Chain A
Amino acid sequence: DADVTQTPRNRITKTGKRIMLECSQTKGHDRMYWYRQDPGLGLQLIYYSFDVKDINKGEISDGYSVSRQAQAKFSLSLESAIPNQTALYFCATSSPELHNEQFFGPGTRLTVL
C-alpha cells in the first residue's frame, strides 16, 4: 500500500556497517511492526510498537534495534551488519478497529557482504 512506505528499497552494505531502515505511514495507525522474510521461512517478527513510547521484542530481535520517533515513523537499525542478516525486510501497521489486519510496506531488500 502506498500508505506505508519504506526507504531504501534496496541496500547493499558490508559486514560491520551500521544500517538504518526507515518506515513511514499515513494510515494513522498506532501499531507498527518490523518483519524479516527469508525464503521458506515466512515472515518473522523482529520488533513491534503499539505507541510512540512503546517498544517490544519479537521472535528474532538479537542484532537489531528500533526507534519509534513519532506515530508515523518506525525505524529499524542493524548496529553491526552481518551476512546472515541478508533478507527482505517489511514494515507493517495495524489498527484494532480493523481486526488487526496488517498493512505492509513494499519491503527493503538488504544484502550484507
Chain B
Amino acid sequence: GQQVMQIPQYQHVQEGEDFTTYCNSSTTLSNIQWYKQRPGGHPVFLIQLVKSGEVKKQKRLTFQFGEAKKNSSLHITATQTTDVGTYFCADPGGHDYKLSFGAGTTVTVRA
C-alpha cells in the first residue's frame, strides 16, 4: 500500500483544550480509516471516510477527508483524559484490502 504520513508524532494537550492530528498521502486515497490504540491495548476501529470532503462526527471527535482525497484530519474538542492513546490513520489500499498505517499520533493529556 501507499505510505501515509501523520503529524504530529506526539501531542501533549491540556485537559479541556482542542487539538488536531493530520494524515497526508502523496497519492489519491480511495478511502481512509482511523483507529485508536489505548496504552497497553490494541488498535480499535473508529471510522472510515470515503467521499471527497466528507466530514463525520463522533461526539467530540470530528473526522474530515480532504477534497482531493489526499489528506485527512481528526479534531478533538475539549480533550479529556479518556482521549489518551495513539491515533492511527490507515489507507485500505485497493482491491487487496491491505491496510497501510501511518506512524500514529500519541496523545497525552495534562489534567
Contact string, A40-81, partner B, CB cutoff 8 A, digits 1/0?
111111001010000010110000000000000000000000
Cβ-neighbour of B98 out of A45, A99, A103 (below 8 A): A45
The contact of A102 among B41, B99, B102, by CB within 8 Å, is B99
Contact of A48 among B88, B92, B98, B104 (CB under 8 A): B98
A96–B100 alpha-carbon span in the complex (Å):
17
Number of interchain pairs (Cβ within 8 Å): 51
Complex partner residue of B103 from A42, A59, A99, A106, CB under 8 angstroms: A42
Tell me which of B13-21, B43-51, B71-79 binds A: B43-51
Q: Is A104 a contact partner of B43 (Cβ separation < 8 A)?
A: yes
B98 with A58: CB separation less than 8 A: yes
Interface residues on A, range: 20 to 34
> Quick check: B97 and A96 within 8 Å, CB to CB?
yes
| Nearest CB in chain B to that of A58: its residue | B98
CB closest chain-A residue, reference B93: A100
* Apart from the given pairs A42-B101, A102-B45, 18 other A-B contacts in the complex at a CB distance below 8 Å: A31-B97, A42-B6, A42-B103, A43-B43, A43-B99, A43-B101, A45-B99, A58-B98, A90-B42, A90-B43, A94-B97, A96-B97, A100-B99, A101-B45, A102-B35, A102-B99, A103-B45, A104-B44
Chain B residues in contact with chain A, CB under 8 A? 1, 6, 9, 33, 35, 41-45, 48, 88, 92, 96-104
Write the chain B residue with the least CB distance to A107. Answer: B42
Pairwise interchain contact A40-B42, C-beta atoms closer than 8 A: no
Closest B residue by C-beta to A88: B42
Chain B residues with Cβ below 8 Å from A41 are: 103
Nearest residue (CB) in B for A44 is B101
Closest residue of chain A to B43 (Cβ to Cβ) is A104
Residues on A with beta carbons closer than 8 Å to the beta carbon of B44? 104
B103 contacts A40, C-beta separation under 8 Å: yes
The residue in chain B whose Cβ has the minimal distance to the Cβ of A109 is B40
Min CB distance A100 to B, Å, is 5
Cα A48 to Cα B1 in complex, Å, equals 13
**Among B42, B48, B98, B102, contact of A104 (Cβ-Cβ < 8 Å):** B42
